[in-house]
Amino acid sequence: MHPLISTDDLMTALGAQPHPTLLDVRWSLLGPPGRDDYAVGHLPGAVFVDLDGELAAEPGPAGRHPLPDPAALQEVLRRAGVDADRPVVVYDADNGSAAARAWWLLRWAGHRSVAVLDGGYAAWTAEGKPTTTDVPGPSDGGFRVRPGSMPVIDADQAAALARDGVLLDARAPERYRGDVEPMDPRAGHVPGARNAPFGEHTGSTGKWRLPAELAERFADLGVTGDTAVGAYCGSGVTACSVLLALEHAGVTDAQAPAALYAGSWSNWAADPSRPAATGPEPG
C-alpha cells in the first residue's frame, strides 16, 4: 500500500467493504490537545488516538516520546478497531507530521496496509467532504502487535550512521543550528547529521510534494537508493514524516525502509557525554 491516500480515494474506499479503519491523531507539540479538535468534528467513523498517551510511553531517559510497550499499543489499536486484514488510514490536521508517527508505529507493529491522508483534515474539509461529531461505539479489533517490522536505531547507531551513511534531522533549521531549543536540555544536532526539515515535505496546503521533487531534495542531501539512511527529530515524532517522505519519493520502500532513531534529540541531549554540533553544517 502506498504511504499516502488522496481524499477522493479515501472517499471511495469508505464506500467499499471492508472499508478502512480511520484513526484521528491530530496533535501539536505545544497544544492544545487534539481530542478537543476531534470533538468539534472528525471524519465519519474515525477513532481518536492520543499521540502523547497512547502512541508513546512515558517520557524519560529514552526520550520525550519513547516507543510504546507492545502490549499497551496492541490494546490501544484493538480498542480502535484495528485488524490485520483491514486497511488503516490515519490523519492529522494537515501536513501528516503527526499522522506519520501512527503510520510508522503500525508498520513497526507488523501491519502491512497503512496510509496517511494527504492534506489531512484540512484538505478533507476544504473539499466539502462529510464530517461528524458522533463518536463511534467501542470496537474490538483483533490486530496482534509484532514489533520490529521497521528498523530502530539507538544513539550509538545514530552516531555511526551520521559518519558512514546519512542521518537526517527533521527539525526546523533554527533548532538544527542550535539557535534555539525550546524543549530539550541542550541545543544543536548530532554531529554529521544533515537537516531535512519535515515542514518542507509538504506545500502550503499541507499536501505532500511530488515524488520526483522529494527524491531530488533527498539526493541533494546525499541520499541515494544504496545509501544507509535514518532520521531523527526532537522526540521521534516528526522524524517519521521523513521516513514517509523517503518512501513516497521511492528512495526507500517497505522491503528496505530507513531507520528511526526513536529517542531522537531528547535522548541524545540528555547524555552530557555526547557531543552537540551547532551551525548550519553537519559538523
pLDDT at 118: 98
CA–CA distances in Å: residue 251 to residues 12, 118, 127: 28, 19, 31
pLDDT at 225: 76
Asked if pLDDT for residue 204 goes beyond 90, the answer is no
Asked if pLDDT for residue 162 goes beyond 80, the answer is yes
Task: Please indicate, yes or no, whether residues 114 and 228 belong to a single structural domain of this protein.
Answer: no
Residue 32, domain CATH: 3.40.250.10
The stretch 24-40 carries a mean pLDDT of 92
Asked if pLDDT for residue 31 goes beyond 90, the answer is no
pLDDT at 60: 94
Write out pLDDT tens, residues 53-101: 999 999 999 999 999 999 999 999 999 999 999 999 999 999 999 999 9
Please tell me the total count of domains within the chain.
Answer: 2
**Quick check: is 163 in a domain?**
yes
Mean pLDDT computed over every residue of the chain: 96
Rounded-to-integer distance, Cα 88 and Cα 46, Å: 10
Asked if pLDDT for residue 138 goes beyond 80, the answer is no
Task: Please indicate, yes or no, whether residues 33 and 103 belong to a single structural domain of this protein.
Answer: yes
Calculate what percentage of the chain has a pLDDT beyond 90: 92
Write out pLDDT tens, residues 254-282: 889 999 999 999 999 999 999 999 999 99
The stretch 126-145 carries a mean pLDDT of 94
Asked if pLDDT for residue 30 goes beyond 90, the answer is no
Task: Please indicate, yes or no, whether residues 88 and 189 belong to a single structural domain of this protein.
Answer: no
Domain boundary among 126, 143, 170: 126
Domain containing 186 equals 152-268
The stretch 25-43 carries a mean pLDDT of 92
Task: Please indicate, yes or no, whether residues 171 and 264 belong to a single structural domain of this protein.
Answer: yes
Compute the Cα dihedral for 177, 178, 183, 184 and give only its sign.
positive
Is 240 an active-site residue? no
Please enumerate in sequence order all residues whose Cβ is within 8 A of that of 124, keeping only pairs 6 or more positions apart, or say none: 7, 10, 43, 91, 117, 131
Rounded-to-integer distance, Cα 257 and Cα 230, Å: 9
The stretch 210-222 carries a mean pLDDT of 97
**Quick check: is 56 in a domain?**
yes
Catalytic residue among 90, 223, 233, 246, which? 233
Bridge partners of 124, per DSSP, are: none
